[in-house]
Amino acid sequence: MKKIIRMLFSPVLNVFESGTEAYEYKKSHRVILVTIGVLFTALATGVFWLARGADIGYLFPVVIFGLVGVVCLLVAYAGSDRAVAKIWGSR
């Protein structure tokens, strides 16, 4: 399953996995990335659920928070240690 997800989302993962510079990875970074992904995805879902039927402008935060949450979860699950370290900006 992980192999299929890596293949499907390789354009996104390649952005974070590129480079040859040294990086510092800690296991806690991946755990916190999952937590942030869940929180942002829940926030997007909550805004969508509470604001449905309102002005169409509510979709902007839903899309932004949803994309951030999904990318965080994607990198945390299918990304390499380098991708997680690159999101954290650790070098």
Would you kindly state where each structural domain of the chain is located, as residue ranges?
22-88
Quickly tell me which residue has 């992980």 as its tokens.
2
Q: What percent of the chain has pLDDT over 70?
A: 98
- Which tens digits make up the pLDDT trace of 52-84? 777 888 888 899 999 999 999 999 999 888 888
Average pLDDT, the chain: 88
What DSSP letter does each residue of 57-78 carry, written as one string? Answer: GGHHHHHHHHHHHHHHHHHHHH
